[in-house]
Structure 1
Amino acid sequence: MNNRVLIIQNISHEGPGILEDLLAEHTIGFELCDLSKGGNAPDPAGFAGMVVLGGPQSANDETAQITGELALIEKALDAGVPYLGICLGLQLLVKARGGSVVKCHQKEIGFREPDGEPFMVELTNEGKHDALFRGMPERLRVFQLHGETVEPADGMTLLAKGRGCKHQVVRVGSNAWGLQCHFEMTPAMFESWIGIDADLKVMNRDELLTEFEAISAGYAETGRAILLNFLAVTGLVKS
């Protein structure tokens, strides 16, 4: 079995973050393909797992990058390669298997709901027993950065839901998952995003940094646990 992970990047500043740290710690090889730079992704069937990261694109775009990426994801799923999609990676997964990607009633940006309550996701009954959330609490604090959401197709399993956009974590088949939120985010990534993303740039920079600093230790612990659970599914780390 190939012992590497294929990581698809949709925009250069949205990298693998905590995932890259874990791969280094466990001496797991990976191939990073940045499609925004015109890279060509290899056949995912040659990898132990596939991870598709976020980006500003829409899964409904008819660009060569998005249509090619949808075909690539279908190829991975058909080959039974364990898959994890983050933000856009979730939306592409759902779209590739017949679901829909639609505009949110209200964008979800940052750490808090419009009424000031923290963004949280709550595991469904299926989520509580899913391999991706092994050992996790039922409610998780999250960071959001999206203006679109998914409508899963029949047969897809909702693993976690939110207040605004209900479909926060979806499983397709037995070993393909999509997360709407960003558990891979590191402090350095977040600081970079604040200066790049249009929705974050209009928010109070100091308040955002202070809030992330206050929760960063627990947030990293959650992200590491979820990503390790995915790597366990690939067989690259012991569960």
Structure 2
Amino acid sequence: MRVNILQHTPNEGPGTIQDWAHAHGHAVYIYHPATFGRLPQADETDMLVILGSPQSPNDDLPWVKAERDLIRELLAQNKPLFGACFGAQQIAYTQGARVHAAPHKEVGWAPVYLQTDVIPGLPATVEVLHWHQEMFEIPTGAKLLFSSDLVANQGFLLKDNVIGLQFHFEPALDNVREIAINDATYPDDNNDLHQTAAEIIAHGVPAQNRQVMFQLLDYLVSQK
């Protein structure tokens, strides 16, 4: 299977998503549309992963719009999609759901709570990395998957083969360091989780996050 990954900023890479793909023998192709303006074709995509970005789906940028055209095409072909943060917002936007400022800026570690048992074996509570101040509305027909204490819409499942998460399961510890040191001032401004970049790094990554990331991706491809 060919897993095409859209990476939008240097410090937010695929992390354990790439580990999952390699563990299953899948071929990984990483595109950088914000830098090079290139996207994969739908017919060369078996699964699409859309990662985080400092941009918003509301930004009037050619690559943002072109990315949504690809997402729509893949949704019509019932191919599995996974979106993290901006990626989830992009998927929601294609379905007519609004993306807007969240009631709280969440930057740091905080729990999310499972809202449906449709995906078997997921823990009821998981502590995850948040790095956002926008949020999506849940697309029509999608199931609410996770909520946090500050922002209700933290994840959705659409058509059983599309998952969007407002937070991040994918970073391993090196990835957290990379995110935090390169965007070190972002947690300091009106952050309702009240954590500094140094505290976010020192927290470490809960061991179960990698396992849950694998479970979610396994579920998506099992629905093909």
- Between stretches 221-230 and 50-59, larger displacement belongs to 221-230
Partner of 1:47: 45
Does residue 1:199 correspond to 2:199, yes or no? no
Amino acid at match of 1:129: V
Q: Percent identity?
A: 25
Where does structure 1 lack aligned partners over 5 or more consecutive residues?
A: 112-118
TM-fit CA distance, 1:67: 0.8
Does residue 1:234 correspond to 2:210, yes or no? no
The separation in 2 between residues aligned to 1:185 and 1:83, in whole angstroms, is 18
Does residue 1:123 correspond to 2:114, yes or no? yes
TM-fit CA distance, 1:201: 6.4
Report if aligned partners of 2:81, 2:220 keep a CA contact under 8 Å in 1.
Answer: no
Report if aligned partners of 2:107, 2:129 keep a CA contact under 8 Å in 1.
Answer: yes
The separation in 2 between residues aligned to 1:228 and 1:10, in whole angstroms, is 24
SS across alignment from 2:102: strand
The separation in 2 between residues aligned to 1:235 and 1:46, in whole angstroms, is 19
Alignment of 1:159-198 (within 5 A): 159-197=145-183, 198=185
The separation in 2 between residues aligned to 1:228 and 1:39, in whole angstroms, is 31
Amino acid at match of 1:234: V
TM-fit CA distance, 1:173: 2.0
Partner of 1:116: none
The separation in 1 between residues aligned to 2:143 and 2:159, in whole angstroms, is 8
SS across alignment from 1:142: strand
Q: TM-score, normalised by structure 2?
A: 0.89
- Between stretches 180-189 and 21-30, larger displacement belongs to 21-30
Does residue 1:158 correspond to 2:150, yes or no? no
Alignment of 1:107-146 (within 5 A): 107-111=105-109, 119-124=110-115, 127-130=116-119, 134-146=120-132
Report if aligned partners of 1:7, 1:51 keep a CA contact under 8 Å in 2.
Answer: yes
Where does structure 2 lack aligned partners over 5 or more consecutive residues?
A: 190-194
The separation in 2 between residues aligned to 1:138 and 1:43, in whole angstroms, is 37
- Between stretches 159-168 and 92-101, larger displacement belongs to 159-168
Does residue 1:224 correspond to 2:211, yes or no? yes
- Between stretches 50-59 and 3-12, larger displacement belongs to 3-12
Structure 1 residues 141 and 217, CA gap change in structure 2 (3 angstroms):
closer
SS across alignment from 2:70: helix
Amino acid at match of 1:172: L
The separation in 2 between residues aligned to 1:109 and 1:231, in whole angstroms, is 28
The separation in 1 between residues aligned to 2:221 and 2:186, in whole angstroms, is 35
